[in-house]
Amino acid sequence: MNSFDPRNAPLLAWVDGVESNAIDIADRGLAYGDGLFETFRVINERPLWWDRHLARLTRGAEALGIDMPNPTRLHIEALNCCEGAVDGVLKLVLTRGSSGRGYRPGEGRPTRILSLYPSPSHQEAVTAIRCGTRLATQPQLAGFKHLNRIEQVLAARECQRAGVDEGLLFDTEDRLASGVSGNVFLLRNGEWLTPLIERCGVAGICREWLLEQVASCRETVLSDADLDAAEAVFVCNSVRGILPVTALDGQSLPCPDLLSALRELLWRELPPLPAKDCTGAE
Amino acid sequence: MNSFDPRNAPLLAWVDGVESNAIDIADRGLAYGDGLFETFRVINERPLWWDRHLARLTRGAEALGIDMPNPTRLHIEALNCCEGAVDGVLKLVLTRGSSGRGYRPGEGRPTRILSLYPSPSHQEAVTAIRCGTRLATQPQLAGFKHLNRIEQVLAARECQRAGVDEGLLFDTEDRLASGVSGNVFLLRNGEWLTPLIERCGVAGICREWLLEQVASCRETVLSDADLDAAEAVFVCNSVRGILPVTALDGQSLPCPDLLSALRELLWRELPPLPAKDCTGAE
C-alpha cells in the first residue's frame, strides 16, 4: 500500500480473524462509512467494559441492519489481539462488508477489524473551545458509534487550529450536544448534568457508567447559557476517563474537589492512563 | 483479504497510482468517512464531465481541508484506469489518508483510489417510494459528495424492502431534498423544479448540467404537497442520466412528451446506457 505510513500503524491488526492491515477498497466501511466502531481501554490484556461496548455495537448493528458477528468469536479475537498488552487501546470496526457500486446493500458478509494502539499518556486537564461546527440532528443515528464522523473531524481541526485539546459541540438547534472525542458534563448546584443523546451524538460508555453509578449525574437538555453558568465542566470517554476542562474559550474554569473526587471514583473502574505513552505490548 | 468477494470486485483498481485493491485499515476514509468521491460515466475510454466532477471534488476537498492531488496526475491515472473501456463507470475516492487513532488529522498524505466497474444496463423508468429516512440538515456538508452516506444506505434498504428502484428523501425539516442515488426534479406548469442544495444533499453533476443548459429547469424550495401536485417526476445522476419516475408509492405517474424530450436532449451529452450490463472493457 502506497499510502502506508509506519508512524500511523497500529501495533497489531486483525481483519476477519487473520492478521492483516489491509481491507478491500470495495468495503462499504470505506465507500459510505457503512459500519460501526468501538474503542476499548486495554489493561493487562483485557479490554475494559467489554459487555457495555458490545451492547452498544449490537444496538448500532440492529439500527443499520448489519449482522452481528458471533460475540464469543469476537471476544476471542479481541483477547488474541490484546495478548501481551499491559496498557493499550483496542479499536474494533464492524462494517457491512464489500459490495459492488451503489448504496443498496448486497450479499456481502460484514467485515470485522481489530487493531491495537499504544495508550495515550495521562493528562491532568484539558483546554477547550466552543466549536463552530454543529452536529446535525438525526434521531435515526443518535447514540451509536457509526463511521460517519466528518463533523467530529471538522471540529477536531478547529481545536487544532485554536491550539486547544478539546471542543464542545452544539447541535444545529443550539443545544449543547457533546465533546469532540467524548461526552460532556457540567456541574450545577451539586449535580452533574449531561446532554440527552436523542437527536445526535454518541451515548458514551464512560457517560453510561457515570449515569448508572453516580446519583448526582443525570441527563437533561442544556443550552449555551447553562454552559456559561456551569461551576465546572468535564469531558469523558472510555479510554481517557474524566478530563476536567480548566479553560474554555480562554476563560479559566475551576476544578473543584467534587470533580477530583468523581475522577478518583472512576479510577477504581477505569484506572488512570500511564504517565507516558505506553506501547501497550511487552 | 478475508472479506474479499470476487462478485463485488471492480474490473480494475488503482491506489495512489499503483494497481491494487487494498487500503490501509488506518485510512481515515474507513475510520471516519473522512473523504470524498466522484462517480463518472466512461465512454470510449473517456470519463465524461471530468471538469465538472473535478470542480466539485475540489470544492469538497477545500471544505474538508484535504489537499487536492495534482489534477493532471489524477487525469492521467483516470485515463489509465479507463483504458479499453467502451462503456463503464469510474469511481474516484479521495480520503485524508492514514493517521493514528483520533479525529484530529495527522500528517498523512491523502489517498486516491480509482476503480472501474461495468456499466449498469439501460432502464426506461423507475418505481419509487417516499422514504421514511430523513436527511439531516447540515449546511457545512451540503452539496459535495463526502463519504458519510449512512442515510443513503438506510434509504436504499427501505427501497429494497419495498421492492422499488428508487426513493425520494425529505430533510428533517420536511422539505423535499433528493433521490437516494440522484437528484429529483418535478414538473409544474411547464417548469422543471429541483430542491435547493443548501442544507443537505449532493449537488449532482447531471442536475448542474440541466440547470445550466435547460431554461425550464430551476431550483426552489419544495414540499410534500409540491410532490403530490407534480405533473411528472424524474431522478437523475451522471451515470444513468434522467430516469422518469412512473410510480410513486404505488400510484402511477405520467411520463409526458416534455420528459421524453428532456431525456433525449441529455442523451446528446450523456448517451443512454447499453441495453445489457456492459463489462466496459474490451
Residues of A in contact with B5 (CB under 8 A): 97-98, 107-109
B107-133 burial string, b = 16+ CB within 10 Å, else e?
A: ebebbbbbbbbbbbeeeeebbbbebeb
> What letter would DSSP give residue A86?
S
**Residue-wise pLDDT tens digits, A80-108:** 999 999 999 999 999 999 988 899 998 87
Nearest to B148 among A101, A109, A148 (CB): A148
In this prediction, residue B4 has a pLDDT band, given cuts at 50, 70 and 90, of very low
CATH hierarchy code of domain A6-118: 3.30.470.10
- 3-state SS, A240-282, equals CEEEEEEEECCEECCCCHHHHHHHHHHHCCCCCCCCCCECCEC
pLDDT at A36: 98
Backbone φ and ψ of A93, nearest 5°:
-115, 135
pLDDT of B282 reads 36
Which of the following CATH numbers is that of domain A126-267: 3.20.10.10, 3.40.50.1860, 3.20.19.10, 3.20.20.370? 3.20.10.10
Question: Which of chain B's residues have a Cβ under 8 Å away from the Cβ of A37?
Answer: 31
Alpha helices in chain A (DSSP H): 28-32, 50-64, 71-81, 150-162, 205-213, 224-228, 257-267
Please write the tens of the pLDDT for every residue from B207-225. Answer: 999 999 999 999 999 999 9
Sign of the dihedral through C-alpha A218, A272, A235, A155? negative
Residue-wise pLDDT for B25-73, tens only, equals 999 999 999 999 999 999 999 999 999 999 999 999 999 999 999 999 9
| Amino acid, single-letter form, for residue A177 | A
Q: What is the DSSP letter of A84?
A: T
Please compute the mean of the pLDDT values over residues A37-50 and round it to a whole number.
Answer: 97
Q: pLDDT > 90: what percent of chain B?
A: 91
Dihedral, A55, A59, A61, A67 alpha carbons, nearest 10: 70
Judge whether residue B14 has pLDDT over 90. Answer: yes
Write down the mean pLDDT value for chain A.
94
CB–CB of B205/B241 below 8 Å? no
Q: Calculate ∠ Cα A112-A115-A120, nearest 5°.
A: 140
In this prediction, residue B58 carries a pLDDT of 98
CATH 3.30.470.10 in chain A is located at: 6-118
Using CB atoms, pick whichever of B13, B24, B37 lies closest to residue A3.
B24
DSSP B202: B
CA distance A215 to chain B (A): 31
Tell me what pLDDT residue A100 has.
83
Q: Given this model, what pLDDT does residue B101 score?
A: 87
* Mean pLDDT score of chain B: 94
Distance from CA of B254 to the nearest CA of A (A): 26
ipTM of the complex: 0.94
> Three-state SS for A128?
strand
Q: Which of A31, A137, A156 sits opposite B172 (nearest CB)?
A: A137
CB atoms inside a 10 Å sphere around CB B259: 23
Amino acid at B263: R
Locus of grid cell 493487562: A44
pLDDT score recorded for residue B245: 98
The average pLDDT across A181-205 equals 97
- pLDDT for A278 equals 54
pLDDT at A123: 93
- Mean pLDDT, residues B94-122: 92
B246-265 pLDDT, tens digit each: 999 999 999 999 999 999 99
Unique residue bearing C-alpha cell 437538555: A221
**Is pLDDT above 90 for A277?**
no
Percentages helix, strand, coil for chain A, rounded to the nearest 5?
A: 25, 35, 40
For residue B280, is pLDDT > 90?
A: no
B7 pLDDT higher than 60: no
Separation of alpha carbons A15 and A21, rounded Å: 7
Give the mean model confidence (pLDDT) for residues A226-233: 97
Residue B154, CA atoms < 13 Å, CB-side half-sphere:
23
Q: Reduced to 3 states, what is the DSSP secondary structure of residue B268?
A: coil
**Positive or negative CA dihedral for A259, A264, A269, A275?**
positive
Residue A212 has pLDDT above 90, yes or no: yes
- What's the pLDDT at B82? 95
Among chain B residues, CA nearest to A22? B24
- Per DSSP, the three-state class of B280 is coil
3-state secondary structure at position B33: coil
Give me the pLDDT at residue A248, please: 98
Q: Where in chain A is the domain with CATH 3.20.10.10?
A: 126-267
Q: Say if the Cβ atoms of B3 and A16 lie within 8 Å.
A: yes
A8/B98 CB distance under 8 A: yes
Q: How far is A168 from chain B (nearest CA, A)?
A: 14
In angstroms, the CA B276 to CA B33 distance is 33
A253-267 residue pLDDT tens: 999 999 999 999 999
Contacts of A101 in chain B (CB under 8 A): 39, 89, 91, 117
Confidence of residue B6 (pLDDT cuts 50, 70, 90): low
CB B169 within 8 A of CB A140: no
What pLDDT sits at residue B76? 96
Return the residue in A18, A21, A30 with the most chain B beta carbons within 10 A, the one to mutate for interface testing: A30
Residues β-bridged to residue B245? B126
User: Do the chains contact at A138 and B154, CB–CB below 8 Å?
Assistant: no
How many whole angstroms separate alpha carbon A187 and alpha carbon A20?
45
Strand bridging mode A18-19 / A12-15? antiparallel
The pLDDT, as a whole number, for residue A7 is 54
Of A128-132, A160-164, A239-243, B3-7, the poorest mean pLDDT is in B3-7
